């Protein structure tokens, strides 16, 4: 844990200044932790919500909700940070969560904001350090765990990866054993089969607001599809799609052949606004004044299915049991275990000879664990073109209509011949198996 805190990215002498300040933050966090423990008379079991990305925040909340439907009773604790605070207030009743408001934490945070009011990164680091320490020392139910499933077969697994290069072994160990979401996701997958999350029963659920957003766009339950295109225009993000024309066939088929409307989800994006402006039955909700976390939830909850990339909105579909098609998928660490999802990854080419990597070759490369291991000097990631995206949709719709999403990648020869780089990644069996077969 401390190693994560003190890994420096800044250059000298800024790195020394940060090191001193963050050492001070660690001391403050430990003092605050002791103070909280002395004052916490109720001694309730706690699950600390750690990290504040959309996907991580909502996934952890979903996990605790499912755990509490069984024999466990955990109270969620979190720092009052966006977007975690929004999700807690929206999805849970007031007696099911609380924000960490211990006096030392709050006083020092207000002091830092006054002194470093222009240095937002320092405030982010202050909260990050608190999250690490509170998660490690207070949380009875953690989202990140050592992978006990792999620990049981560690010798067998080590034999499987002994011939891999050092970088691969390092990436594999960190992702699958040392800092893993896998055990939690498998547990959540099994719990999700037994229990379901009913948003309608929540005291914060407002049927009137749900009705308003659907009425605004002339939508009804299951007469529309949500489309989230992750596009970061500032840098070449491997998880994103930039070729909007590759969605043309897919959009035409859904809106014309299937007679369904498409609702565009995501952050405001002028390029997407301009591209889809002339499309009939495509609703640019993402660039409207109505875009919000609450309305995102209402829309996905009522949609036929969700089309997205590896990004936060995937977990909305899992939460509400909505089928999901993931296009241009990359970086396996953020894949969900869910029995109504299909993943279709980008194609990977070797730049030197333009040879496309087969799936087995990709699985033997550390790039599958983290974006930093993707060597852009050697490899090129290519988005699915409009024909390939259309083919992916056809396969998905066939599964959707049969309500059977699990494909056997190895035995389905017809599928392999048509698109041998596509694969399904849904059950806990496949989740473990895909790394070694």
Q: What is the pLDDT of residues 101-147, one digit of tens each?
A: 999 999 999 999 888 766 678 888 899 999 999 999 999 999 988 77
Mean pLDDT of 220-246: 87
Share of the chain above pLDDT 90, in %: 44
- Reported confidence tier of residue 414, pLDDT bands at 50, 70, 90: very low
Sign of CA dihedral 50, 53, 58, 63: negative
* Tens of pLDDT, residues 304-323: 999 998 888 889 999 999 99
The domain defined by 199-433 carries CATH number 3.40.50.2000: yes
Answer whether residue 170 shows pLDDT above 90.
no
Distance CA(219)–CA(214), nearest Å, equals 5
Average pLDDT of the segment spanning 242-254 = 95
Under DSSP, is residue 193 helix (H, G, I), strand (E, B) or coil?
Answer: helix
- Among 156-165, 182-191, 283-292, 401-410, the minimum mean pLDDT is found in 401-410
First to last CA, the chain: 32
- Residue 416: pLDDT above 50? no
pTM: 0.87
State how far the alpha carbon of 45 is from the alpha carbons of 42, 60, 64, 129, 150, in Å. 9, 15, 11, 22, 27
Cβ-proximal residues to 195 (8 Å cutoff; 6+ apart), any chain: 66, 69, 70
Q: Parse the chain into domains and list their residue ranges.
A: 2-142, 144-180, 199-433
Residue 412 has pLDDT above 70, yes or no: no
The confidence score (pLDDT) of residue 7 equals 64
Q: Which of 238-242, 244-248, 268-272 is predicted least confidently?
A: 238-242
Reply yes or no on whether the pLDDT at 152 is more than 70.
no
């Amino acid at each position: 844990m401390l190693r994560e805190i003190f890994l420096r990215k800044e250059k000298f002498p800024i790195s020394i200044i940060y090191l001193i300040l963050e050492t001070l933050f660690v001391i403050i966090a430990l003092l605050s932790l002791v103070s909280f423990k002395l004052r916490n008379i109720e001694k309730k079991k706690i699950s600390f919500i750690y990290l504040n990305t959309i996907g991580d925040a909502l996934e952890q909340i979903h996990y605790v909700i499912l755990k509490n439907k069984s024999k466990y009773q955990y109270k969620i604790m979190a720092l009052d940070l966006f977007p975690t605070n929004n999700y807690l207030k929206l999805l849970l009743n007031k007696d099911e969560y609380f924000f960490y408001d211990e006096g030392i934490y709050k006083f020092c945070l207000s002091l830092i904001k006054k002194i470093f009011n222009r240095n937002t990164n320092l405030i982010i680091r202050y909260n990050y350090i608190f999250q690490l320490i509170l998660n490690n020392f207070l949380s009875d139910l953690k989202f990140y765990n050592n992978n006990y499933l792999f620990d049981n077969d560690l010798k067998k697994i080590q034999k499987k990866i002994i011939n891999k290069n050092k970088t691969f072994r390092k990436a594999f160990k960190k992702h699958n054993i040392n800092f893993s979401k896998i055990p939690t996701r498998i547990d959540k997958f099994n719990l999700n089969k037994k229990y379901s999350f009913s948003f309608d029963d929540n005291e914060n659920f407002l049927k009137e607001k749900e009705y308003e957003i659907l009425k605004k766009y002339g939508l009804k339950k299951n007469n529309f599809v949500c489309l989230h295109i992750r596009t970061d225009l500032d840098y070449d993000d491997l998880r994103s799609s930039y070729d909007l024309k590759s969605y043309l066939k897919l959009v035409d088929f859904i809106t014309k052949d299937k007679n369904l409307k498409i609702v565009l989800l995501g952050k405001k994006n002028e390029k997407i606004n301009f591209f889809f402006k002339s499309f009939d039955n495509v609703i640019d909700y993402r660039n409207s004044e109505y875009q919000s976390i609450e309305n995102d939830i209402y829309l996905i909850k009522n949609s036929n299915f969700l089309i997205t990339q590896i990004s936060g909105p995937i977990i909305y579909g899992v939460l509400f049991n909505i089928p999901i098609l993931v296009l241009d998928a990359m970086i396996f660490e953020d894949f969900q275990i869910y029995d109504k999802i299909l993943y279709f990854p980008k194609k990977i080419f070797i730049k030197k000879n333009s040879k496309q990597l087969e799936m087995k070759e990709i699985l033997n490369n550390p790039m599958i664990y983290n974006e930093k291991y993707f060597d852009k000097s050697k490899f090129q990631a290519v988005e699915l073109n409009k024909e390939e995206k259309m083919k992916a949709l056809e396969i998905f719709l066939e599964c959707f209509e049969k309500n059977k999403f699990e494909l056997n990648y190895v035995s389905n020869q017809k599928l392999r011949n048509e698109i041998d780089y596509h694969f399904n990644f849904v059950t806990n069996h496949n989740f473990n198996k895909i790394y070694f077969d």
